[in-house]
Amino acid sequence: MTNQILLACFYLIAFVFIRRHLKQAIALLAQRKQVNAARTTLVTRFINGLLFFITLVLVALSLGLGYQDISLFVSSAFAVLGVALVAQWSILSNITSGILIFFVFPYRIGDRIKVVDKDEDISGEIVDIALFHVLIRREDGTLINYPNNQILQKAVFKLSQESANNPKSPTQVPTLPTETLEDLQRKQR
């Protein structure tokens, strides 16, 4: 029994240690990629929740709860989540895409991009990257909320200054001045 308690304490200490270092690593990555604080907080909370769940399962196993008991509880929880989210699969898809965009999306706020979409011209400056969507401002000032899962599925070109005048030539570099989301919302009112 003493070994079980010591093992559970080890898992809890490891949880605190890993959580602190992951938070610092995410903050450094967010600073390097120039991600806003709200988005960083959401990603940190998601990863902390996942880490807590894993730690909780390990502590329960170390304290003597059977593998079958825990697997029954976990599979039941996932079944309930699956039923609840099956009707809302696009929400789950956008959240997952938002997490992926945080770590691997090569474009930043202020970059001019063009999304290859056969139905609509989706080009402009990235104004905000949220958990569910990317906010893009067109040349005429129109704001587009483009879903995260769609922006990961389609080709995206980074536009240069020359391509602001000629939208058929994608290349690099932002051209519009960056504004905060609050500034844009005030302008729309």
CATH number reported for the structural domain that contains residue 71 in this entry = 1.10.287
- In this prediction, residue 12 carries a pLDDT of 92
User: Is 170 a residue whose pLDDT tops 60?
Assistant: no
pTM check: above 0.85: no
Round to whole Å and give the CA distance between 36 and 47. Answer: 17
Q: Which has the closest alpha carbon to 110: 182, 34, 186?
A: 34
- In this prediction, residue 185 carries a pLDDT of 58
What total number of domains does the chain contain? Answer: 2
pLDDT digits (tens, 9 = 90+) for 74-90: 788 778 767 666 655 67
Last residue of a domain, one of 59, 87, 115: 87
Which long-range contacts does 22-31 make (Cβ < 8 Å, 24+ apart)? 22/47, 22/48, 22/51, 23/48, 29/103, 30/102
Q: What mean pLDDT comes out for the span 83-107?
A: 75
User: DSSP string of 37-79?
Assistant: HHHHHHHHHHHHHHHHHHHHHHHHHHTT--HHHHHHHHHHHHH
User: Is 171 a residue whose pLDDT tops 50?
Assistant: no
**Same structural domain for residues 75 and 140?**
no
Q: Reduced to 3 states, what is the DSSP secondary structure of residue 165?
A: helix
Containing domain of residue 52, as a range?
2-87
Percent of the chain's residues with pLDDT above 70 = 79
Could you tell me if residue 92 is inside a domain? Answer: no
Could you tell me if residue 96 is inside a domain? Answer: no
pLDDT interval class at 189 (50, 70, 90): low
Which tokens hold the place of 100? 């992926």
- Contact call for residues 157 and 113 (beta carbons, < 8 A): yes
Could you tell me if residue 100 is inside a domain? Answer: no
**Same structural domain for residues 115 and 80?**
no
pLDDT-wise least confident of 26-30, 81-85, 114-118, 164-168: 164-168
CATH number reported for the structural domain that contains residue 163 in this entry = 2.30.30.60
